[in-house]
Amino acid sequence: MTISNNLYIGISGLDAHGNAISVVGDNIANVSTVGFKASRAGFADVIGGMAGSSRLGAGVRMDGATTNFAQGTLQQTGSVLDLAVLGRGFLVVQGNHQGIDSTYYTRDGRFGMDNQGFVVNQEGLRLQGYTINTAGVQSTQLGSLDLGAMQSAPLATANVNMKLNLDSSAVSPGQFLTTDPAGTSNFATSTTVYDSLGNTHRVDLYFRTDGAGTWDWHALVDGAELNNGQPGANEIASGTLTFNTAGALDVETPAGSSVDFLGATAGQAINFDFGDAITTDLGTGLAGTTQFAGASVVNAITQDGFGAGTLVDVVVDENGTIDGMFSNGQRRQVARVALATFAADDQLERAGNQLFRETTASGQALVDSAATGERGSVSSGSIESSNVDLTNELVTLIAFQRAFQANVKTVQTADEMLNEVANLKR
């Protein structure tokens, strides 16, 4: 090997360690970058010519940089759509990055909603996942999560449950008349019900005693709210309540109810239930409506219908399931976040902005719901910090700097040797 080769060997060391210092510098520069994964420089020797029967070394080269995908620490943010991945897996995003419209993978879980309602990252790339329909069935098709399109459809009232006390000393006012319900009843109250469109309707209930422990009740609505309704109050349901001598509800005998609200689905059946009647329900007769001495009073009224609702808030659990809270008071699962894993994570291609691209060497992305298979869980309200170990990087930087300085000495020594050779002619 000639003396001049020593120059090139030294230069290879300078070049390799200079690049390695760049890798360390990149790590240090990104010590505060959310979701950043540190890289580690690798070296490989270079074989030169022969010396006798042995191959001689011709220096070194930097053999690429390997990405370290170790878990970074979690930082609490309090923002629901900030998602940190615990364990293996990458969040999947789709969109245009640096002019390339593609699917990317990231551990940077800073997300929010854009003006169209899609869940997007800081760059506007859309988070990918699976929608869940109103029946609770999860889609098998991966797609962008459009929370702005989520609505809670109305539900027509089917059941009204009432708990009252009806005055045992009340005296019958005579026959009940829909033309004068207040004057021909002993007690009245009202409730709100919903039709199939989510419209609200006031239902007035009137109670009349016959003086012998039996009461009849009548449910009335405004005829203007019914298809083919008559002017004034129209009766939509009625029945009787019979109490025993202890004031407990013994028998309920409701008549059938079928309501045709204007513009809504015809034949809406509403069941009015007044408690756990002894004979009718095999109950105690005391958990619902009673007939005790004292003024008639309403203790509770509930109904199972609701109007249409828009999304007002979301909650994300560790399985990546997104629950939507709606303006009508309903809560249901609306979507589930997807995670991707790879056979060789360290072979992914860095694309900038904490994004990675799939390569042939990394293997195809294996995408499914979070917390399935070997995929990690999701921590809502958190972000994953950079996994750069600053102390280790600084020590590595010193080692590379010393190696760089040593290679400078190699170049200087080779230069001095060549200078001596040049001076042989003197």
Number of domains in the chain: 3
Residue pLDDT tens, the chain, 426 long = 566 677 888 888 889 899 999 999 999 999 999 999 999 999 998 887 656 556 677 789 898 899 999 999 999 999 999 999 999 999 999 999 999 999 999 999 999 999 999 999 999 999 999 999 989 999 999 999 999 889 999 999 999 999 999 999 999 999 999 999 999 999 999 999 999 999 999 999 999 999 889 999 999 999 999 999 999 999 999 999 999 999 999 999 986 788 999 999 999 999 999 999 999 999 999 999 999 999 999 999 999 999 999 999 999 999 999 999 999 999 999 999 999 999 999 999 999 999 999 999 999 999 999 999 999 999 999 999 999 999 999 999 999 999 899 888 888 887 777 777 778 766
| pLDDT at 426 (0 to 100) | 61
289 and 277 both lie in a single domain? yes
In this prediction, residue 138 carries a pLDDT of: 97
171 with 247, same domain: the answer is yes
85 and 210, same domain (yes or no):
no
Q: How many CB atoms lie within 10 A of CB 33?
A: 15
- SS3 at position 184: coil
Same domain, 40 and 128: no
169 and 274 in a single domain? The answer is yes
- Per-residue pLDDT tens digits for 107-141: 999 999 999 999 999 999 999 999 999 899 999 99
232 & 130 share domain: no
Q: Does 94 share its domain with 59?
A: no
* Residue the block writes with tokens 């994004």: 355
Judged on CB neighbours under 10 Å (0-12, 13-18, 19+), 420 is: exposed
Residues 280 and 203 in one domain: yes
- Indicate whether 234 and 295 sit together in one domain: yes
Domain boundary among 274, 303, 332: 303
pLDDT of the residue at 55? 64
Strand partners of residue 101: 96
**3-class DSSP state for residue 28?**
helix
Q: Which residues contact 368 (CB under 8 A, 6 or more apart)?
A: 338, 339, 375
Between CA 210 and CA 194 the distance in angstroms is 32
Q: Are 178 and 229 part of one and the same domain?
A: yes
For the purposes of burial, counting CB atoms within 10 Å of the CB of 78, is it exposed (0-12), middle (13-18) or buried (19 or more)?
exposed
Last residue of one domain, picked from the residues 252, 275, 303: 303
pLDDT digits (tens, 9 = 90+) for 297-321: 999 999 999 999 999 999 999 999 9
At 323 the three-state DSSP class reads strand
The verdict on 249 and 118 lying in the same domain is: no
Residue for token pair 């009202």: 190
User: Are residues 62 and 41 in contact, defined by beta-carbon separation less than 8 angstroms?
Assistant: yes
Report residue 5: phi and psi, to 5°: -65, -30
pLDDT of residue 1: 52
Location of structure tokens 């999701």: 378
Least Cα distance to 107 among 84, 73, 127, 132 occurs for: 84
Looking at the fold, whether 257 and 391 belong to one and the same domain comes out as no
Q: 290: helix, coil or strand?
A: strand
pLDDT, one tens digit per residue, over 337-368 is 999 999 999 999 999 999 999 999 999 999 99
Domain that holds residue 84: 74-153+310-384
Kindly state the tokens that stand for 75.
């930082």
Q: How many CB atoms are closer than 10 A to CB 203?
A: 21
Q: What is the CATH number of the domain that holds 168?
A: 2.60.98.20
- Please, where are the H alpha helices in 211-322? 278-281
pLDDT (0 to 100) of residue 252: 95
Is residue 205 within 8 Å of 217, Cβ to Cβ? yes
Tokens representing 220 are 């009335």
